[in-house]
Amino acid sequence: MRTIFHIVSVLFFCHLSTSWALDIALPEMGDSAGELISPREEQEIGQAFFWRLQQSTELVEDPEVTSYIQSLGYRLASNSNEPNLNYTFFVLPDGAVNAFATPGGYVGVNSGLIITAANEDELASVMSHEIAHITQRHILRSFENSKRMTIPRTAAMIAAALLGAADPKAGSAAIMAVQAGSIQSQIDYTRANEAEADNIGMQTLVKSGFNPEAMPSFFEKLQQASRFYGGDAIPEFLRTHPVTTSRIADSRGRASQYQVKPRLSDHEQFYLIKEKLRVMTAQDIQEVIKYYQHQLTRDELTNKDPVNYGYVLALIKNAQYTAARQRLMPLIEREPDRLAYQLALADIELSVGRVKAALDIYEDNQRLYPDDRALTLNQVHALLRTARPVEAAKLLQTQIELGEGGRQIYKLMAQAKGDTGQKSESHAWLAEYYYESGLLKAAADQLHLAAEAAGRDEYQLSKIASRLREVENAMSEMEN
């Protein structure tokens, strides 16, 4: 079973790094996906994939962006067929219009998809589609159809994938050579997966309070846009999720069966996050500034606040703090309780050296948004900057107790503990940061350092020893 675990992990890694989308099939080894791979092993596959992903590319770790995508993802997942799965939603700083899902509940969304979506409903439609791929176990079910492929061809695919782990370019070329002979035998199954994901995803979308028309509308928009592309410029989502006229018609037919319900969520946050990502991922900040200046001259632009907000962020990024403040203040006057605006104001204050003013903004907003993750992380950065690690550690501990851990939290906690002279605690938290990053050897090394620094503290030594055993067991499973 471990062999399957490692093969599938490598295959997922190679799938992400290439521009093709085929269900990889292995020789049939069970009567159902559930018998082939247990839920625990399914989670291990997803975890291994996510670890490799983090080591191969940067993720968007801006706390506002991650909080938003996780909130939207959890809302959809709670209305899916399997609401109790341990889902992980994340954003990649990739301009390609794409999203993907893997076993274990991991759903990745490219920034390009968020920027391209016209509204939150369209983004939610894609995410609900990806969640359906997970709940219907489409990748695992592909093993059941392995009898359609010959063993030599399967062996060639595995060899190509293993080669790709060492040399992605060589692996991709080998896979492409093998793929030509197997694409026809796979295409019907792929379409069946997509149709089922559309159907189940639509149900999740509607249960979550979104407009069902968003799914066919977004698919149609991408299909029309693809006519202006050629070759490798075709949107990635169309490569991995083939969209046909009949599929759009089927999706629109399903959508017509549902009644559109009034929106209950704060859709404005989507537009603010969209503009934040536009600025964050911009290659040329001057071009982005020109973009916003042009957008604000358009008479047909009915909602200018998100555009002005994006303009503010672009001006901050370009160190034009006075101009940024002047454009931000009218937004705050209209919506003084909008946290995104308050955080932007605090960012300006920090940038000009007014750290106390920034901390006052954070304190005031903690009363309105107690323990908000984005607010807390920004506040912690400012506290550490002003040599107040004890307060920073207290805020971080609250996040951890609320179940809001993660790489950022653990790394900041390691810094806070280090700044207070608690060396053993600092190393232990840094170990958690490395573990979350998939760097298991580095995590084990930090735990050994934590043990050395613990002295005769038996309670701390016991905790470290227990965690070290867990890390070493994970390392052993990854090696076998």
The token pair that represents 187 in the structure block: 């295409």
The token pair that represents 427 in the structure block: 């190393």
Cβ atoms 463, 451 nearer than 8 A: no
Catalytic hit among 23, 42, 130, 425: 130
Radius of gyration over every alpha carbon of the chain, rounded to an integer in angstroms: 24
Q: Is 198 a catalytic residue?
A: yes
Measure the CA–CA gap between 164 and 171, rounded to whole angstroms: 3
Measure the CA–CA gap between 384 and 391, rounded to whole angstroms: 9
Neighbours of 209 (CB within 10 A): 17
Query: What angle is formed at CA 159 by the lines to CA 154 and CA 164, rounded to 5 degrees?
Result: 125
The token pair that represents 258 in the structure block: 């549902």
Residue 442, C-beta contacts closer than 8 angstroms, at least 6 positions apart? 431, 434
Q: Is 129 annotated as a binding residue?
A: yes
Measure the CA–CA gap between 320 and 308, rounded to whole angstroms: 14
Q: Is 58 a catalytic residue?
A: no
Query: Which SS3 state, helix, strand or coil, does residue 108 take?
Result: strand
Measure the CA–CA gap between 429 and 418, rounded to whole angstroms: 10
What interhelical angle do 245-255 and 168-207 show, nearest 10?
20
Catalytic hit among 198, 213, 236, 436: 198
Beta strand pairing call for 88-92 and 106-110 = parallel
Q: Is 194 annotated as a binding residue?
A: yes
What interhelical angle do 458-479 and 423-436 show, nearest 10?
20
Measure the CA–CA gap between 452 and 33, rounded to whole angstroms: 46
Neighbours of 332 (CB within 10 A): 15
Strand order in the sheet with 88-92: 88-92, 106-110, 99-102
Measure the CA–CA gap between 21 and 15, rounded to whole angstroms: 7
Measure the CA–CA gap between 368 and 70, rounded to whole angstroms: 21
Cβ atoms 408, 433 nearer than 8 A: no
- Dihedral sign from CA coordinates of 325, 330, 333, 336: negative
The residues carrying an active-site annotation are: 130, 198
Residue stretches of the annotated binding site: 129, 133, 194
Residue stretches of the annotated binding site for Zn(2+): 129, 133, 194
